[in-house]
Amino acid sequence: MTTTTGKINFQYQGVTYQTWYKLFGNLQSAKAGVRPLIALHGGPGVSHSYMTPHADLFASHGVPVILYDQIGGGESSHYRDAPKEFWTVELFMDELENLLNHFGISGDYDLVGHSWGGMLAANFAAARQPVGLKHLVVADTPASMALWEQSTASLVEQLPQDVQDVIKKHETAGTTDTPEYQEAMLVFYKKHVCRLETWPDALNASFAAMEADPTVYHTMQGPSEFTITGTLKTWNIIDILPNIKVSTLIINSVYDEAQDICMLPFFNNIPKVKWVQFANSSHVPLFEEPERYKKVVGDFLTTA
């Protein structure tokens, strides 16, 4: 399989940033009825690495796949001193449009977004209603941050009491950078982010990228998956979900951070929607149930 990497200039507010990308397959040799898939990673602020399993869709279904690092993370431009007002959903939607235009595919493409990437993809589809978007996959994603907070709070309440006490103590004291809090976070992550005993290298690499520069995550999200103090706290696209007219696949898992309460607005408000739930996964079914995940997504993109 041919792979190509590079960087794209991205002009924003008078400054040129660079978006790193990796293309799997050939955009010119895609089969009839098959279009490029752009994969939007989560975080915000992690890297593309953990989305790499989507590249297998080229071998299995003939789908060319473009992965990229959103600015502020991975191999793309970083801006550690940016004011918090810089990091907006509009910024990342503009970056996505710039990438589509660079590859000349804005007239015919599909999107898959995971977690924050699903928020971005759904927001893009609903707010900008791009004419070239043909299929949308929204994986392990809330329709509003308030629903995400409800979902994760209910899961934290199921943790051992001593773990809950540590979380509450450090969040109250503002000491969420302590090893004790990080260990308590890991208990949650092993139950509701990835349940595999050994985390895949690609997933670890994405988290390592965020730890190397947590600017975007801390600014937009907060100190953890279940404590939202950032600029996304009031994010909500439920009212505009009916604007999404393309065929949409929504995905979550039984042990997911994104419990059903997060997904219901997508299912209830998008006209052409299919919901698939993974029984043996948490937040990353692409690793926890990889064969079924790739078949579900690949079949949806090529037959729906």
Annotated catalytic residues are 115, 256, 283
User: How many whole angstroms separate alpha carbon 227 and alpha carbon 233?
Assistant: 10
DSSP class of 246 = S
For 83, the token pair is: 């004011």
Pairing of strands 15-24, 37-40: unpaired
The DSSP letter of residue 2 is -
* CA atoms of 131 and 120, how far apart (whole Å): 17
**CB-based contacts of 284: which residues, under 8 Å, 6+ apart?**
50, 114, 140, 193, 194, 203
For residue 113, report the phi and psi dihedrals to the nearest 5 degrees.
-125, 135
In this structure, are residues 73 and 98 in contact, taking their beta carbons and an 8 Å threshold? no
CA 135 to chain centre: 16
Picking from 266, 256, 252, 261, the residue whose alpha carbon sits closest to that of residue 225 is: 256
> Sign of dihedral through CA atoms 123, 302, 66, 139?
positive
User: In one letter, which amino acid is 165?
Assistant: D
Q: Which residue type sits at 80?
A: R
